[in-house]
Amino acid sequence: MSTETVEQTPTPITPRSVGTALGRVDGPEKVTGAARYGVEHHGEDGLADPLYAWLVQSTVAKGAVDAVDPAAALAHPGVVAVLDHTSAPRLEDTDDGELAVLQDARVHFRGQVVALVLAESVEAAREGAALVEVGYAAEDHDARFSADGATYRPDSVNPAFDTDSDQGDVDAALEAAAVVVEGEYSTPHEHNNPMEPHATLARWSDGDGDEVLRLVDSTQAVHGVASTVAPLFGLEPGQVRVTAPYVGGGFGSKGMPHASTVAAALAARAVAPRPVSLAVTRQQMFALTGYRTATVSRFRLGADTDGRLTAVEHRAYEQTSAVKEFAEQTAVATRMMYAAPNRRTSHRLAVLDVAVPSWMRAPGEMPGIFAHEVAMDELAEACGLDPVELRLRNEPDVDPESGKPFSIRRLPECLERGAERFGWAERSAQPRSTVDGDWWVGTGVAAATYPGYRMPGNAARVTALEGGRYDVAIGCVDIGTGARTVLTQIAADALAVEPADVDLHIADTSLPSASVAGGSSGTSSWGATVVAAAQAFAAAHGDAPEPGAEVVASADDDPLSGEHVFHSFGAVFAQVRVHRWTGEIRVPRLLGVYSVGRVVNPTTARSQLLGGLVMGLSAALHEESVRDPRFGHVVTQDLASYHVASHADVLDVDAEWLEESDDEFTPMGSRGIGEIGIVGTAAAVANAAYHATGVRVRSLPVTADRFLEVDR
């Protein structure tokens, strides 16, 4: 039955299950191995007996493919076909250079897909891929990032912020300032590396029915995949059905489809109606599935002798790829972080012959606030102020950029609560003043922020079942965050039933449309929609509905166009130990205190915040992708040479949150928790390392070699 979507303004719910630690509703499936990921869906839904695809990647960084010789590959047992730019099916739309897979001979970056092998087994496909001979006409490339080479000014930065901002007279204010801190701060290339690599199962149906292309994709947005992939093939989004029942993390890299998803669909079209299974390898993810650009932030802070900022300037430099533009919003959070009458930000890009950068774990906020918060630590020292006190003195009354009030801005309470719990009052003002055996010991603090986002394009369906139960459906994806669990709680409260009475369905484009699991917006966007649908249902059918009664609704409130701005805040405290003789750095203690609106489920929220803190720790100490500019590829392309923090790195890490409810933002009072944990954390660690050693590290990661030149 098809139901018209009604618009409903959601009103605050009375929390009953919301706020309690309901166990993960998908916990049993996950711990018993019943939950199936990406390419584990063989045998379902006509996806049995697939061919296996293996991607062949360019070994030059720029130029053209001369010829692809498939003969040796085709002679290998089990290999069925080799597709290249001359033989792959044509796409209807090739405007997106990242997604126009195998459409022409051009090579834009090292690691680009130049051929694809299909075989009866994954082993044969892999062996076949090694046997494909690709000839190139190589051209000179530029894959070396430097701030001075970053001269291109994009029209806007991710997703649609102004490239530059300028308020007051920064130069005059800096001239007149009693204290000036000037510094260059940098963060390296980083790769998202979710636990589950990208993977797609694809089947192309004969004819032009309702479901021409079927995809099981490891993605943060099934509707996003359908609406992006459909036009490439000249289809309507409704002709592409995408599911993603379980996803092993995304960290931004699965926020939009990359080349591998299109490659799987192209291959499935070539061998229709046989399904195709394509699993991207860990190594291939370092060229094909997005990454965080390296950044350089040039800061100038001007302040009076009391530490009150008079000028903030943040000039950000990053890279994009020649084949497709992505401009990270590195300096955008600087526009709202602290009060200062004179403020200037800018973004400039180096356009390089490299793989396409994209979203990664708080794109913008993470590298930008790292720079800002280390600069603030330097300003605190220059002013002779405690770094917590410096931040308290620079609290704005309203959003400095827009002039609008914040719905809730409790950064001071986060700082004060964290300082109390961490024992900050006992901290020595003097760097390198604490030695414990062979270890220097220090502590550091940094602030964090992340905007509250509500995404458009959501709808949810509520259907009455027998026995007072409800079926609730929305096409969002749970990438491991706990979305299934918190939406069950939100639906239960909105329908005034128990969570066990809600049968929740997600992650399928045959369900009402849902926005991406990104921008820390999922719970807010989908939750508000589920509440709207429940309230529209109650308005239409009361609380004793006939089984089968159904309503589809979307939320028509738009808090972001109202009189407030919405941001979450946090304060991160770190203790660092640096070994005097080896420079080894450890973080025995990490604490984040957050203002994130109402917490829907303390168990899953804590897990999100701790995960963010661990990502921040990982960025502080370990994560760095090294690109060899001579050849254009990332040489650290595995989890041995690209270390992501593991258990042994993570010692005492804790998160807590302030009790609050942002009723203006969502009917649950929640504001979003996915990404704020990573913001500020690396700065807290770098600041603590300075306090421990007296060595100021302005570029991530903070590695042992930084401390070897110290006079002992």
CB of 56 to ligand MOS, least distance (A): 28
Distances in Å between the Cα of 645 and the Cα atoms of 616, 617, 621 are 9, 7, 8
φ/ψ of 140, rounded to 5, equals -60, 140
User: For residue 543, with 0-12 CB atoms within 10 Å meaning exposed, 13-18 middle and 19 or more buried, which class applies?
Assistant: exposed
CB of 451 to ligand MOS, least distance (A): 11
CB of 25 to ligand MOS, least distance (A): 23
Q: Which residue spans within 424-566 are E strands per DSSP?
A: 435-436, 439-451, 460-464, 470-473, 502-505, 550-555
The nearer residue to ligand MOS, 188 or 255, going by C-beta atoms, is 255
- Residues with Cβ within 8 Å of 8's Cβ and at least 6 positions away in sequence, in order, are 532, 533, 535, 536, 539, 553, 554, 555, 556
DSSP symbols for 259-327: HHHHHHHHHHHHTTTS-EEEE--TTTHHHHS--BPPEEEEEEEEE-TT--EEEEEEEEEEEEESSS---
User: Which of 232, 242, 278, 360: binder of ligand MOS (CB under 6 A)?
Assistant: 360
Residues linked to residue 215 through DSSP beta bridges, in sequence order: 202, 242
The nearer residue to ligand MOS, 58 or 253, going by C-beta atoms, is 253
User: Which of 361, 417, 598, 706: binder of ligand MOS (CB under 6 A)?
Assistant: 361
CB of 173 to ligand MOS, least distance (A): 34
Segment near ligand MOS (CB under 6 A); pick from 247-255, 394-402, 565-573, 699-707? 247-255
CB of 256 to ligand MOS, least distance (A): 9
User: Which of 19, 400, 519, 616: binder of ligand MOS (CB under 6 A)?
Assistant: 519
Residues 340-359 that bind ligand MOS (CB under 6 A): 359
CB of 648 to ligand MOS, least distance (A): 26
Would you put residue 235 in left (φ > 0), alpha (ψ -120 to 50) or beta?
Answer: beta
User: For residue 371, with 0-12 CB atoms within 10 Å meaning exposed, 13-18 middle and 19 or more buried, which class applies?
Assistant: buried
Is 675 known to be catalytic? yes
The C-alpha atoms of residue 260 and residue 198 are separated, in whole angstroms, by: 8
255 touches ligand MOS by CB under 6 A: yes
Segment near ligand MOS (CB under 6 A); pick from 127-135, 228-236, 249-257, 481-489? 249-257
The nearer residue to ligand MOS, 55 or 613, going by C-beta atoms, is 613
The nearer residue to ligand MOS, 194 or 667, going by C-beta atoms, is 194
Residue 616 corresponds to which amino acid?
G
CB of 618 to ligand MOS, least distance (A): 15
Site string (464-503) toward ligand MOS, x via CB under 6 A: ----------------------------------------
Residues linked to residue 440 through DSSP beta bridges, in sequence order: 435, 578
The C-alpha atoms of residue 401 and residue 161 are separated, in whole angstroms, by: 12
CB of 114 to ligand MOS, least distance (A): 28
Q: Find the residue with minimal CB distance to ligand MOS.
A: 252
With CB under 6 A, what is the number of residues at the site for ligand MOS?
10
The nearer residue to ligand MOS, 177 or 615, going by C-beta atoms, is 615
Helix (H/G/I), strand (E/B), else coil: 464: strand
CB of 258 to ligand MOS, least distance (A): 13
Residue 322 corresponds to which amino acid?
A
The nearer residue to ligand MOS, 444 or 482, going by C-beta atoms, is 482
Task: Record the tokens describing residue 702, joined without a space.
Answer: 């903070």
Q: What is the strand order of the sheet 79-83 is part of?
A: 79-83, 113-119, 51-57, 276-279, 199-204, 213-217, 240-243
Would you put residue 520 in left (φ > 0), alpha (ψ -120 to 50) or beta?
Answer: left
The CA-to-CA distance between both ends of the chain, in Å, stands at: 76
Q: How far is CA 37 from the centre of its chain?
A: 19
The H or E element containing residue 620 is helix 602-621
The nearer residue to ligand MOS, 250 or 512, going by C-beta atoms, is 250
Taking Cα atoms as reference points, which of 253, 269, 256, 559 lies closest to residue 406? 559
The nearer residue to ligand MOS, 241 or 292, going by C-beta atoms, is 292
Residues 109-168 that bind ligand MOS (CB under 6 A): none
CB of 136 to ligand MOS, least distance (A): 33
User: Which of 19, 188, 194, 252: binder of ligand MOS (CB under 6 A)?
Assistant: 252
The nearer residue to ligand MOS, 343 or 361, going by C-beta atoms, is 361
367 touches ligand MOS by CB under 6 A: no
User: Which of 307, 518, 527, 545: binder of ligand MOS (CB under 6 A)?
Assistant: 518
The nearer residue to ligand MOS, 97 or 363, going by C-beta atoms, is 363
Q: Judging by DSSP bridges, how do beta strands 5-8 and 550-555 pair with one another?
A: parallel
Site string (175-214) toward ligand MOS, x via CB under 6 A: ----------------------------------------
The nearer residue to ligand MOS, 253 or 489, going by C-beta atoms, is 253
CB of 366 to ligand MOS, least distance (A): 9
| Number of helices (H), then strands (E), in the chain | 15, 29
CB of 683 to ligand MOS, least distance (A): 19
Instruction: Write out 127-194 in H/E/C secondary structure.
Output: HHHHHCEEEEEECCCCCCCCHHHCCECCCEECCCEECCEEECCHHHHHHHCCEEEEEEEEECEECCCC
CB of 646 to ligand MOS, least distance (A): 21
Q: Which residue spans within 32-112 are E strands per DSSP?
A: 51-57, 63-69, 79-83, 106-107
The H or E element containing residue 113 is strand 113-119
Taking Cα atoms as reference points, which of 326, 299, 322 lies closest to residue 147? 299
Task: Judge contact between 324 and 290, C-beta under 8 A.
Answer: no
Q: Which residue spans within 291-438 are E strands per DSSP?
A: 295-303, 309-321, 342-352, 435-436
The nearer residue to ligand MOS, 227 or 535, going by C-beta atoms, is 227
Task: Judge contact between 551 and 1, C-beta under 8 A.
Answer: no
365, 659, 675, 709: which is the annotated catalytic residue? 675
224 touches ligand MOS by CB under 6 A: no
The C-alpha atoms of residue 612 and residue 566 are separated, in whole angstroms, by: 20
The nearer residue to ligand MOS, 228 or 693, going by C-beta atoms, is 228
Chain contacts with ligand MOS (rule: CB under 6 A): 220, 250, 252, 255, 359-361, 363, 518-519
Catalytic residues: 675
